[in-house]
A = this chain, B = another copy of it.
Amino acid sequence: MEAISLIGPNTEALLLENQDNFLVPADNVATVMYQHSLDHALLVLTNVGYSKIPVLDKDDRFMGLIGLNDIVQKMVSLTTIDTDHLAGLTVADVMEIGVDTVREDAALEDILHLLVNNAFLPMVDDQRIFLGIITRKEILKCTNHLVHELERQYLLVPKQPGGSDTETATDGLKVS
């Protein structure tokens, strides 16, 4: 089945004009291994200053996400907060699995939708090898570019509502 894009070609081109910044490549992303201790993961997260980072296996396959919250929750019992509760636990025990990911050929459409509910999206290849992340921050940069350039580069002519012009213009598009 052929995917039908609901995003117009001029819009997509403008949004992606600075696409070299779109993906944060794996080399620039802080990660932990799933067999690492939670103590170690806590130190990594604290050092990098992010609230959530990807979890990989020894072959760089994407396994899930781990956040400061996941770890601190393990430290909190009914009335006390104690790092002793972390003893013996690994990243694999608390990481978030079933995380939304995208492939290299993901449609902009899908990326934008998934980023509404995810602060970032891990990108993986067909072996689940971790390639990097797409962040809301990078999309925000592209959105800035789009909204600034749109009416500098194009004259926006309203389409006739309900008329035959509209029929032609939306030809091939499925409007939900």
Contact = CB atoms under 8 A, between A and B. Distances in A.
Interface of A: 6-12, 15, 39, 42-43, 45-46, 49, 51-52, 67-69, 72-73, 75-76, 81-83, 108, 112-113, 115-117, 119, 136-137, 139-141, 143-144, 146-148, 150-159, 169-170, 173, 175
Contact of A159 (B43, B49, B147, B155): B155
Given A76-B43, A81-B83, A143-B143, A159 B148 contact: no
Count chain B CB atoms within 10 A of each CB in A45, A82, A147, A157 and give the residue with the most. A147
Nearest to A10: B156
Contacts of A9: 151
A113 to B, nearest CB: 7
| Number of copies of this protein chain within its complex | 2
Nearest to A113: B144
A140 B136 contact: yes
Given A72-B68, A140-B116, A159 B150 contact: no
A7 B156 contact: no
Contacts of A153: 158-159
Contacts of A151: 7-11, 169
A6 to B, nearest CB: 5
A82 B52 CA distance: 21
Contacts of A115: 140
A150 B82 CA distance: 53
Given A67-B51, A73-B46, A83-B83, A169 B152 contact: yes
